[in-house]
Amino acid sequence: MFRLDGRVALIAGAASGIGCAAAEGLAAAGATVICVDLNAEGAEDVAGSIRARGGSAEALAMDITDAVAVERKVARIAETQGGIHVLVSTPAVNVRKRLLDYTGDEFDKVLRLNLRGTFNLTQPVARIMSAQKQGSIILTSSIRSVMVEPGQGVYAATKAGLVQMARALAAELGPVSVRVNCIAPGVVETPLTQPIRNHPDWYNAYSSKNALNRWASADEMAGPIVFLASDASSYVTGAVLFVDGGWTAVDGRFTPPL
């Protein structure tokens, strides 16, 4: 029930991090994966690695903030591949600043990619899936959709917004058998979190916050994504799957004497 043979999966942000892990995981499950990223060379490296292991993969440069170009490229992918059955959207940016120090341009930068960019990509893919009457859309939210800290306000707002976008899409697309869900990772070792890893105290504090007392590797996101893409989750839509090592379950870092 986890196999994806004969299905086409479009992965945005596939050149690195969770997007790369998603592409590799979906290909291993049998999907033909289309690796798209602003970093065309990085996307091709991932696709080439998948092909070298016997999988089916192609790469395409895509800037998801360019709505016109995205719609054109999505249409071409669907025409060439005979449809799109899975969408995984991972691109995000963060400007770590307290809200009172944010500039308008910085605010727009975060919303433009995290929310508008995801919308730009999801809308044309969802239209194709609606016509097919089949599909699974997976958006990348975060633990920051429900928990926040200083310097994460705007990023957190976008990740909460993605949850509501996914829920609305789930409600609207359910009648045509298109499912829409979010994964909400905790702390994952990706290029986006490199600044944290450069500070051992910061890195270790995050490790000790979750129940497993460690960070996740990006490839630990692949299993949940394959689950949501596959028939194993055929009755799951409008959901948020927290892949956070128990971060949102654990109350604080102190274990009281009992």
Active site residues: 155
Contact 34, 235 (CB under 8 A): no
Cα distance between residue 221 and residue 235, in whole Å: 20
Q: CA-CA distances (angstroms) from residue 112 to 16, 87, 118, 173, 240?
A: 20, 19, 9, 24, 22
CA nearest neighbour of 166 among 136, 127, 124 = 136
Cα distance between residue 246 and residue 210, in whole Å: 5
Of all helices (H) and strands (E), which one includes residue 174? none
CA nearest neighbour of 32 among 6, 65, 62, 67 = 6
Cα distance between residue 2 and residue 229, in whole Å: 8
Identify the residue whose tokens are 């009172």. Answer: 100
Cα distance between residue 230 and residue 9, in whole Å: 11
